[in-house]
């Protein structure tokens, strides 16, 4: 019986360390978001600025999406979206963020997976169901600096 207790204890430690249960670490307390860096992502005309966005794994950041073009636009987060932990204080973004001209939205997130992700915007033509074109940027999530 003594060995069963020791083995159970080690199994709990191992699962906690390797995150085998699939649970993510809790997000930061509400007050910690005030110090998170702000990363503006702007679509203006035919370009996303900046075209390369570098973030760090496990480092909180406030993403601010802005549509400075004259037509409605959508930011498509694609494969990047499921890798994010999102603060409970901000409205939950979807994998597609639709913005009217001049509109902006911000989201407090923590990237949880190192990788190279496409950020796509699609300009729509007002009154039409098809797309006028797309622009693409890149989000690189790099290892956290110790």
pLDDT tens column, 92-122: 667 888 899 999 998 889 999 999 999 888 7
Q: Which of 83, 84, 74 is closest to 136 using CA atoms?
A: 74
pLDDT at 14: 30
Q: In order of start, what are the domains of the chain with their CATH numbers?
A: 38-142 (2.60.40.420)
Q: Which of 131, 109, 120 is closest to 24 using CA atoms?
A: 109
What is the pLDDT confidence band of residue 90, given thresholds at 50, 70 and 90?
low
What's this model's pTM, rounded to 2 decimal places? 0.71
Copy the structure tokens of residue 129.
Answer: 């169901």
Copy the structure tokens of residue 9.
Answer: 């204890």
């Amino acid at each position: 019986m003594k060995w069963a207790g020791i083995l159970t204890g080690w199994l709990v430690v191992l699962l906690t360390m390797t995150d085998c249960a699939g649970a993510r670490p809790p997000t930061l307390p509400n007050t910690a978001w005030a110090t998170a860096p702000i990363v503006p992502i702007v679509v203006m005309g035919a370009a996303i600025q900046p075209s390369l966005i570098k973030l760090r794994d496990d480092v909180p950041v406030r993403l601010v999406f802005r549509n400075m073009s004259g037509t409605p636009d959508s930011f498509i987060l694609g494969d990047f979206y499921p890798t994010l932990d999102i603060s409970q204080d901000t409205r939950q973004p979807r994998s597609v963020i639709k913005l009217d001209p001049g509109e902006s939205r911000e989201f407090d997130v923590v990237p949880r997976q190192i990788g190279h992700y496409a950020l796509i915007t699609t300009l729509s033509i007002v009154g039409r169901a098809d797309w006028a074109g797309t622009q693409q940027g890149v989000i690189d999530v790099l290892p956290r600096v110790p």
